[in-house]
Amino acid sequence: MGPPDLKPIFYQGHLDIIISFILWQSSPKTKIKERKAQDLQTGRECTTLYVRESIAVREMRELREHKMRTAHLREA
């Protein structure tokens, strides 16, 4: 029995976070990864949750786009 299907959660804090997928579980009905977000400034783990892979992939893309937009704002 896997974890519930949770919606993605962004860590509300420093923008410089890194998300890594370290746990890969496979079941007949769903494929789930555990997401750990780490605050690069403090080195502390911010968030751990289970997400469906498709949600996680979309979230990674949104995070990259957000960081690119904020990088342009900082340069201006």
**Residue boundaries of the structural domains of the chain:** 17-75
Which pLDDT score, from 0 to 100, does residue 43 have? 59
Distance of CA 11 to CAs 18, 30, 37, 61, 73, Å? 10, 25, 7, 15, 20
Rounded Cα gap, residues 28 and 47, in angstroms: 27
Rounded Cα gap, residues 39 and 19, in angstroms: 9
DSSP 15: S
Look at the pTM and tell me if it is higher than 0.95.
no
The residues facing 51 across adjacent strands are: 33
| More confident position, 68 or 72 | 68
Residue 11 has pLDDT above 80, yes or no: no
Share of the chain above pLDDT 70, in %: 22
